């Protein structure tokens, strides 16, 4: 694993805003993040079932126009092969060189195209249609994907994405470093050497964090949950505690050789910037 902390690759994730005001705010957020630590790239999510296919493309175009290094997310579950190859052509024409490649969350309607069912199939499809044009990042789950039947099968499915041509992975967020270290041990045992970048979720709001963690299968350890519950409406103490916990996690991850950090910013800059300032880089 990489032990040179200075070479760490920092990236930030955005979602496509729904309003003009949201777009303006996003540009300010990007500027503030850039002024603080110049992330290597910004990724833009793709709504469940392809629901934001157009708005993802629009915000990607806007960021590219501003010379910002963007990595669009692309997911297969709600899009036809034709829609995906059209999108890949758009991205190629825009000069995009990195994609975060996913199956995607199953939409509430349960509707899927059934053309490409899993992320490894999308990785293969991108390699078949676009060769080596894109650096492909895939998702990794140190605490296992919520739909996985067994830890072993989940890891096998991760291996399939690497075999299909993924160049790197970004993890679901976690607060338990042992889960990540074990995942990395498993990679080593299986001769997987692609960088696996920890996804970092700042802690700023207890209710939304627990709601989201329940659906995506990320565990909030009891000692963190109890302390957050105890702060209840004391937002200032909750955020100070969250900052301390997540900054420690990031520092430990970098010390243990994580190749970088990917921040789930939720289109906000304050907490990501505050964590970055606490890193012992
Ligand atoms: P896969 O790797 O295909 O795995 C999905 C599940 O299927 C796993 O349980 C796996 O074990 C299982 N599986 C895989 N292959 C097979 C097989 N052949 N047979 C049986 N089971 C199999 N969602 C969005 O909608 N938009 C986004 O922009 C987005 N960005 C994300 C970014 C990151 C960094 C991460 C970690 C997640 C993101 N997600 C996003 C969420 C992601 O789409 C969901 O977690 C989704 O449910 C799984 O996507 P995947 O690419 O990991 O799927």
Confidence at 126, pLDDT banded by 50, 70, 90 = very high
Q: Could you tell me if the CB of 78 is within 6 A of ligand 1?
A: no
Half-sphere exposure of 24 (CA within 13 A, CB side): 3
The boundaries of the domain holding residue 139 are 3-204+245-276
Nearest CA to ligand 1 atom 51: 102
Which whole number is the average pLDDT over 100-128? 91
Atom of ligand 1 nearest to the CA of 73: 28
Task: Annotate the chain with DSSP letters as a single string.
Answer: ----GGG-EEEEEE---SSHHHHHHHHHHHHHHHHHH--SEEEE---GGGTTHHHHHHHHHHHHHTT--EEEEEESTTS-HHHHHHHHHHHHHHT--EEEEE--PPPTT----SSS-SHHHHHHHHHHHHTTSSEEEEEE-TT--TT-S-HHHHHHHHHHHHHHT--EEEEPP-S-HHHHHHHHHHHHHTT--S-EEPEE-----HHHHHHHHHHHT----HHHHHHHHHHTT-HHHHHHHHHHHHHHHHHHHHHTT--EEEEE-TT--HHHHHHHHHS--
Which whole number is the average pLDDT over 64-81? 96
Q: Is residue 13 part of a domain?
A: yes
Higher pLDDT, 47 or 236: 236
Mutate to test the pocket of ligand 1, among 71, 157, 186 (most ligand atoms within 8 A of CB): 157
**pLDDT by residue (tens digit) across 12-65?**
999 999 999 999 999 999 999 999 999 999 999 998 766 778 899 999 999 999
Q: Is residue 173 part of a domain?
A: yes
Mutate to test the pocket of ligand 1, among 99, 104, 140, 197 (most ligand atoms within 8 A of CB): 104
Q: Could you tell me if the CB of 148 is within 6 A of ligand 1?
A: yes
**pLDDT by residue (tens digit) across 33-43?**
999 999 999 99
pLDDT at 114: 82
Q: Is residue 50 part of a domain?
A: yes
Q: Is residue 236 part of a domain?
A: no
Q: Is residue 101 part of a domain?
A: yes
Q: How many domains does the chain have?
A: 1
Q: Is residue 220 part of a domain?
A: no
Nearest CA to ligand 1 atom 43: 104
Q: Could you tell me if the CB of 270 is within 6 A of ligand 1?
A: no
Q: Is residue 98 part of a domain?
A: yes
CATH number at residue 32: 3.20.20.220
Nearest CA to ligand 1 atom 2: 119
pLDDT at 1: 45
Q: Is residue 123 part of a domain?
A: yes
């Amino acid at each position: 694993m990489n032990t040179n902390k200075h070479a760490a690759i920092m990236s930030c994730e955005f979602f496509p805003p729904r309003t003009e005001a949201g777009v303006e705010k996003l540009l300010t957020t990007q500027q503030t993040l850039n002024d603080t630590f110049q992330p290597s790239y910004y990724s833009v999510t793709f709504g469940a079932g392809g629901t934001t296919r157009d708005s993802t493309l629009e915000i990607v175009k806007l960021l590219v126009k501003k010379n910002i290094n963007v990595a669009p997310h692309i997911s297969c579950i709600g899009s036809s092969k034709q829609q995906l190859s059209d999108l890949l052509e758009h991205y190629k024409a825009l000069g995009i060189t990195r994609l975060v490649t996913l199956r995607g969350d199953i939409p509430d309607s349960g509707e899927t195209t059934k053309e490409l069912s899993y992320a490894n199939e999308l990785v293969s499809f991108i390699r078949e249609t676009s060769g080596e044009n894109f650096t492909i990042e895939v998702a990794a789950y140190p605490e296992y994907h919520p739909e996985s039947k067994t830890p072993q099968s989940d890891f096998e499915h991760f291996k399939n994405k690497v075999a299909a041509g993924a160049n790197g992975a970004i993890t679901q967020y976690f607060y338990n470093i042992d889960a990540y270290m074990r995942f990395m041990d498993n990679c080593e045992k299986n001769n997987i050497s692609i960088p696996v970048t920890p996804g970092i979720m700042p802690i700023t709001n207890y209710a939304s964090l627990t709601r989201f963690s329940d659906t995506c299968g990320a565990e909030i350890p009891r000692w963190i949950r109890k302390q957050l519950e105890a702060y209840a409406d004391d937002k200032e103490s909750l955020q100070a505690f969250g900052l301390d916990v997540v900054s420690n996690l990031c520092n430990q991850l970098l010390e243990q050789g994580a190749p970088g950090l990917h921040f789930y910013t939720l289109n906000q800059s304050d907490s990501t910037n505050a964590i970055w300032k606490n890193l012992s880089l």
